[in-house]
C-alpha cells in the first residue's frame, strides 16, 4: 500500500511502482483525489484516516507492507505504526523528522513481539547519509564524533515545505554525549567541501541526529547544509521568534500558503539536479576519516529508495523491530539505487 498516494512524492512512487511491475493499493484521506488516481492507473483504492485506529487497522488487514508518503509525518506516522502493529504490516516512510525516528525507535520491543519491521527514512531522508555514517563507522569503529551533510538543488514538495515550517518552531538539534540536544537555529558554522568545492555550511536538525546514532552508536552528531554567511545569520535572527513561529495559527497559515504555492520540482529538475553528500568521523586521538558520495536528485533517490525497501520487505523472513535503512538494507544500499555513485572514504 502507498499511503498519501495523491501527494507530490506519492504520485511519483505510484508511477515507478507500476513501472517495476507492482500493483500497489492506493490510499489516503482525500476520496476524490485517491479514486481519481486509482481510476487513472486501474488500481485498488482505500480511503481512511490514520487517526481512526480501527478504520486504519481494517484498511491494512491484508497489506504486507505500507509505504507512508503522507507528510508531515509528525501527523501520520505514530497512528499508522499503531495500525501496523494490529494488522502485522511492515512499515516504511520517507521522513526526515527526528521525532518520527525516535517515535519508531521506542516501539522497537513492541514491533519485535509483533514481528513487524519499522523502518522510517527510506527515501533521500535518510538512506544516503545513513549509509555514509555506517560505512565511516566501519572504517573507524572507535569514532566518537560524526558530522554529515549534503548539497542539493532538489527543491521542495508541499509536504517537505510543511515539515520545514514545523521546524521553524522547534529550533536546531544535535546529538551531544548520546542525547538529542536543543540548540539555536544556525547553531554552528564551518567550511565543508561537499564534493563541489569548499562552501560555508551551517547545522540543521536533520533526521540523522536520531538515525545515525542507532546505526553507529556514535554519541556526538551534527548535520550540515551549505549556507552563505548571510543565510546563517538570518537563521540565528529567527531564534527569538520561535515561540511565535510555533503557534498553531501561524503554523496553519504558513502550511496552507505552502500547499497553495509550492508544487514540487519538475521532471527536468529531478533529472538534472544532482546531490553531493559528505561525512566525517573523528576519534579521541584526533584521527579523521572523510566520505563523499554523489547521487541522483533527492526525489529520485526517494522514489527508488522506498520501492527498494518495499520489494525487500515483500520477501522478508527476518525478525521484526526498529531498523535504520543501513541496518535493514545494508550499509551500501545507496549504491544500488539508480543514479548513485560509490561511497568513497579517505
Reported as a single tens digit per residue, the pLDDT across 166-196 is 555 567 899 999 999 999 888 899 999 999 9
**Alpha helices per DSSP H over 60-126:** 77-87, 98-105, 108-114
Query: Can you name the CATH fold of 127-297?
Result: Dihydrodipicolinate Reductase; domain 2 (3.30.360)
Contacts of 192 (CB under 8 A, 6+ apart): 149, 198, 199, 201, 224, 226, 278
Q: Architecture of 2-124+300-330 per CATH?
A: 3-Layer(aba) Sandwich (3.40)
Of 129 and 259, more confident: 129
For position 171, what pLDDT does the model report? 73
Q: How confident is residue 271, by pLDDT bands cut at 50, 70 and 90?
A: confident
Model confidence at 265: pLDDT above 80 = no
Q: How far apart are CA 66 and CA 141, in angstroms?
A: 34
Of 269 and 175, more confident: 175
Residue in 94, 79, 107 with CA at minimum distance from that of residue 321:
107
Place of cell 546563517: 232
Average pLDDT estimate for 42-57: 94
Pick from 63-77, 146-160, 236-250: least confident: 236-250
For the chain, where do the domains classified as CATH 3.40.50.720 start and end?
2-124+300-330
Specify the 3-state DSSP secondary structure of 299.
helix
For position 110, what pLDDT does the model report? 97
CA pseudo-torsion sign 305, 306, 307, 308: positive
Model confidence at 18: pLDDT above 80 = yes
Q: How confident is residue 72, by pLDDT bands cut at 50, 70 and 90?
A: confident
Of 169 and 131, more confident: 131
Could you tell me what percent of the chain has a pLDDT over 70?
86
User: pTM of the prediction?
Assistant: 0.89
For position 161, what pLDDT does the model report? 47
Of 159 and 293, more confident: 293
Q: How far apart are CA 269 and CA 98, in angstroms?
A: 27
Encode 240-259: b = buried (16+ Cβ within 10 Å), e = exposed: eeeeebbeeebbeebbeebe
Contacts of 208 (CB under 8 A, 6+ apart): 126, 129, 130, 133, 148, 221, 223
For position 278, what pLDDT does the model report? 98
Of 252 and 181, more confident: 181
**Alpha helices per DSSP H over the chain:** 8-19, 31-41, 53-59, 77-87, 98-105, 108-114, 127-139, 158-170, 208-216, 229-237, 242-245, 248-261, 267-272, 298-314, 325-329
Q: How confident is residue 249, by pLDDT bands cut at 50, 70 and 90?
A: confident
Phi, psi (deg, nearest 5) at residue 52:
-110, 90
> Do residues 264 and 158 make contact, with C-beta atoms less than 8 angstroms apart?
yes
Q: How confident is residue 230, by pLDDT bands cut at 50, 70 and 90?
A: confident
Of 250 and 331, more confident: 331
Strand partners, 146: 221, 281
Could you tell me what percent of the chain has a pLDDT over 90?
75
Residue 309 CB coordination number (10 Å): 28
Q: Which set of grid coordinates corresponds to residue 22?
A: 507492482
Q: Which range, 130-144, 145-159, 194-208, 232-246, has the best average confidence (pLDDT)?
A: 130-144
Pick from 63-77, 95-109, 149-163, 223-237: least confident: 149-163
For position 92, what pLDDT does the model report? 98
Contacts of 298 (CB under 8 A, 6+ apart): 123, 124, 152, 154, 275
Average pLDDT estimate for 11-31: 96
For the chain, where do the domains classified as CATH 3.30.360.10 start and end?
127-297
Q: How far apart are CA 53 and CA 150, in angstroms?
A: 37
Amino acid at each position: 500500500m502507498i499511503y498519501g498516494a495523491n501527494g507530490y512524492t506519492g504520485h511519483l512512487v505510484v508511477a515507478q511502482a507500476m513501472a517495476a511491475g507492482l500493483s500497489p493499493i492506493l490510499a489516503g484521506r482525500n476520496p476524490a483525489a485517491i479514486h481519481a488516481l486509482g481510476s487513472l492507473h486501474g488500481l485498488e483504492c482505500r480511503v481512511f484516516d490514520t487517526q481512526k485506529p480501527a478504520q486504519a487497522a481494517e484498511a491494512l488487514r491484508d497489506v504486507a507492507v505500507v509505504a507512508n508518503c503522507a507528510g508531515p509525518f509528525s501527523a501520520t506516522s505514530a497512528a499508522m505504526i499503531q495500525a501496523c502493529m494490529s494488522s502485522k504490516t511492515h512499515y516504511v516512510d520517507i521522513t526526515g523528522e527526528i521525532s518520527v525516528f525516535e517515535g519508531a525507535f521506542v516501539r522497537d520491543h513492541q514491533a519485535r513481539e509483533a514481528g513487524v519491521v519499522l523502518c522510517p527514512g527510506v527515501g533521500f531522508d535518510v538512506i544516503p547519509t545513513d549509509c555514509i555514517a555506517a560505512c565511516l563507522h566501519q572504517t573507524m569503529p572507535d569514532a566518537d564524533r560524526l558530522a554529515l551533510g549534503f548539497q542539493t538543488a532538489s527543491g521542495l514538495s508541499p509536504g517537505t515545505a510543511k515539515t520545514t515550517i514545523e521546524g521553524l518552531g522547534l529550533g536546531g538539534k544535535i546529538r551531544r554525549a548520546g542525547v538529542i540536544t536543543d540548540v539555536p537555529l544556525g547553531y554552528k558554522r564551518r567550511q565543508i567541501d561537499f564534493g563541489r568545492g569548499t562552501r560555508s555550511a551551517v547545522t540543521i536538525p536533520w533526521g540523522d541526529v536520531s538515525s545515525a546514532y542507532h546505526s553507529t552508536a556514535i554519541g556526538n552528531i551534527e548535520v550540515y547544509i551549505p549556507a552563505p554567511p548571510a543565510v546563517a545569520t538570518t537563521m540565528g535572527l529567527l531564534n527569538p521568534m520561535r515561540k511565535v513561529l510555533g503557534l498553531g495559527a501561524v503554523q496553519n497559515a504558513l502550511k496552507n500558503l505552502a500547499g497553495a504555492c509550492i508544487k514540487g520540482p519538475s521532471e527536468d529538475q529531478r533529472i538534472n539536479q544532482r546531490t553531493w553528500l559528505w561525512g566525517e568521523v573523528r576519534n579521541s586521538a584526533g584521527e579523521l576519516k572523510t566520505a563523499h558520495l554523489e547521487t541522483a536528485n533527492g526525489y529520485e533517490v526517494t522514489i527508488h529508495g522506498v520501492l527498494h525497501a518495499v520489494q525487500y520487505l515483500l520477501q522478508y523472513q527476518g525478525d521484526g523491530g526498529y531498523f535504520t535503512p543501513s541496518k535493514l538494507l545494508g550499509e551500501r544500499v545507496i549504491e544500488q539505487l539508480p543514479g548513485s555513485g560509490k561511497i568513497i572514504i579517505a
